[in-house]
Amino acid sequence: MCRVMGLDLSLTSTGLVLLQDAETVESTTVSSRFKGEARLADIREKITTAVKLHRPQLVVLEGYAFGRPNQMAALGELSGVVRCSLFEMGQHYLVVPPTRVKKFATGRGNAKKDEVRLEVYKRWGFEAPTNDEVDAYVLARIGLAYLGHDDKLIKPQLEVIKDLKKAA
């Protein structure tokens, strides 16, 4: 049994998907009604609770989107507190650049959100109400493949996994 959690971090709607042997166990968004540091602490606590509850072998986070400079500082703070919490729990995690997430889902690293959503549905039959959950699903699928629990990968997916392992 392999459990992997994908997290698409956001201050307004963090996507969280838990897969167990390629079956979706949980798909949700994490949000907070707070502002500032209280929001960071609230989202961190909700993610920490989910990780402790489900105990995945690997948590996969989307890396920074450098093309969105106005949001970099705030997302960097959120990512930092989440990564620190995962580290303190002894939880293994992997950070995947956004272009690799898109390439894994569509075969192209510059795909648009609607293309990712369509390919995820066509390839895996997964749908969700938010793009955050769709991205979190792709991150979780990357985690399964990274751990060797998906042997039906196409060439671009194999390239993504190879690149991630080389960078580790």
Nearest Cα to 95, choosing from 44, 46, 14, 163?
163
Return d(Cα 168, Cα 16) in angstroms, integer.
Answer: 23
pLDDT score for 158: 98
Q: Is 131 helix (H, G, I), strand (E, B) or coil?
A: helix
Integer angstrom CA distances of residue 115 from 57, 84, 96, 134: 29, 33, 19, 11
Residue type (1 letter), 68: R
pLDDT score for 97: 96
How many helices (H) and strands (E) the chain has is answered by 6, 5
Domain count within the chain: 1
Question: Which residues span the domain enclosing 101?
Answer: 3-167
pLDDT score for 69: 60
Integer angstrom CA distances of residue 48 from 64, 67, 106, 107, 126: 20, 28, 30, 32, 25
Nearest Cα to 134, choosing from 42, 49, 10, 3?
10
**According to DSSP H, which parts of 4-154 are helical?**
36-54, 72-89, 98-106, 113-124, 131-146
pLDDT score for 168: 82
Contact in structure between 15 and 7 (CB atoms under 8 Å): yes
pLDDT score for 75: 85
**Predicted confidence pLDDT, tens digits, the chain (168 residues):** 999 999 999 999 999 999 999 999 999 999 999 999 999 999 999 999 999 999 999 999 999 876 556 667 778 899 999 999 999 999 999 999 999 999 999 999 999 999 999 999 999 999 999 999 999 999 999 999 999 999 899 999 999 999 999 998
Return d(Cα 91, Cα 16) in angstroms, integer.
Answer: 16
Integer angstrom CA distances of residue 7 from 10, 142, 155, 164: 9, 12, 24, 17
CATH number at residue 124: 3.30.420.10
Return d(Cα 165, Cα 153) in angstroms, integer.
Answer: 15
